[in-house]
Structure 1
Amino acid sequence: MIDEVSSGLLRKLLYSLKEELPRAIELRERLHEVPEPSHAEHATSSLVAEALEAGSVEPVARTGLLARVGPPGKAVVVRAELDALPIEEETGAPFAATNGFMHACGHDVHMASLAALFRAAGSVAGSLPKPLVALLQPSEEAYPAGADLIVREGVLDDRTGAVVAAHVHPDVPWGSVSVEAGPVNASSDNLRIVIEGSGGHGAYPHRAHDPIVALSHAVVALQSLISRRLDPMHAAVFSVGWVRAGSAENVIPGVAEAGGTLRALDPEDRGPLREMAGEIVSHTARAHGCVSRVEVTEGEPATVNDPALAEAARSLVSEAGFELAPAMRSCGSDDFGFYGLTSPTLMLFVGLAGAPGTPNLPLHHPRFLPAREAVEAVARAQAVAFTAAASTIDSVML
Structure 2
Amino acid sequence: MNTPVTAEAWRDAVRRHLPAAVELRHALHAAPRLGGVESATTQTVVDALGLGEGRTVAGTGRLLPVAPGPAPVVLRAELDALPVVEASGLPWASTNGAMHACGHDVHLAGLAAVVMAAADLDLPRPVTALLQPREEGADSGARDVVADGAMDDVHAIVAAHVQPRLPAGTIAATPGPVNAATDEFTVTVTGHGGHSGYPHTVDDSVLALSAIVVALQQVGARRVDPTVGVACMVNQLRAGTANNVVPSIAVGSGTVRTMREQDRAVAHAAIRDIAQHVAAGHGCAAEVEIDVAEPPLLNDPRLAVAAGELLTGFGHEVDSSWRSFGSDDFSYYSAHTRSLMLFVGTGDERGGLHEATFWPDDDYVGVVADALIAGYCAALR
TM-score w.r.t. length of structure 1: 0.92
What letter matches 1:219 in structure 2?
A: V
> Aligned partners of 2:297, 2:107: CA distance in 1, in Å?
18
Question: Which residue does 1:27 correspond to in 2?
Answer: 24
Counterpart in the other structure of 1:150: 145
Pair 1:195-2:189 in alignment: yes
Give the gaps of 5 or more residues in structure 2. Answer: none
118 and 271 in structure 1: CA distance in 2 versus 1, 3 angstrom threshold: same
Deviations 1:88-107, CA, capped at 9 Å, x for gaps:
10000000001110001100
What is the match of residue 116 of structure 1?
Answer: 113
* Contact 1:172 1:325 (8 Å CA) reproduced: no
What is the aligned partner in structure 2 of residue 283 from structure 1? 277
Structure 1 residue identity aligned to 2:120: S
- Superimposed CA distance per residue, residues 199-249 of structure 1 (whole angstroms, 9 cap, x where no aligned partner): 111122222211111101100000111011111111211111110100111
- Out of 32, 38, 42, the position equivalent to 2:35 is 38
Distance in structure 2 (CA, Å) of the matches to 1:73 and 1:9: 21
TM-fit CA distance, 1:321: 2.8
Identity %: 43
Q: How does 1:284-303 map to 2 (within 5 A)?
A: 284-303=278-297
User: 1:254, 1:311 → 2: CA distance?
Assistant: 55
What is the CA–CA distance in structure 2 between the aligned matches of 1:267 and 1:319, rounded to whole Å? 35
Contact 2:151 2:333 in 1 (8 A): no
Q: CA deviation at 1:123?
A: 1.8
More helix by share: 1
Q: Which runs of 5+ in 1 are unaligned?
A: 1-6, 393-398
Q: How many aligned positions are there?
A: 378
Question: For 1:109-159, what per-residue CA distance to the aligned partner results, in whole angstroms no more than 9, with x for missing partners?
Answer: 0001101111212221x2x221111001001111211111111222221x2
What is the deviation of 1:326? Answer: 5.9
* Residue range with higher mean Cα deviation, 205-214 or 135-144: 205-214
Q: Mapping of 1:49-64 within 5 angstroms?
A: 49-64=46-61
Q: Which residue of 1 aligns with 2:377?
A: 387
1:15 has 2:15 as partner: no
Given candidates 79, 92, 96, the residue that maps to 1:95 is 92
SS of the aligned residue for 2:330 comes to helix
1:319 shift after superposition: 2.8
TM-score normalised by L of structure 2: 0.96
Give the superposition deviation at 1:262: 0.6
**Displacement, 1:12?**
1.9
- The answer on whether the counterparts of 1:320 and 1:381 sit within 8 Å (CA) in structure 2 is no
The one of 303, 325, 347 aligned to 1:309: 303
Match of 2:244 in 1: 250
RMSD, aligned α-carbons: 1.4
Q: Is 1:64–1:136's contact at 8 Å kept on the other side of the alignment? A: yes
Task: Determine whether 1:69 maps to 2:69.
Answer: no
Asked whether 1:367 is paired with 2:360, we answer no
Distance 2:159 2:205 in 1: 45
* Paired position in structure 1 for 2:312: 318
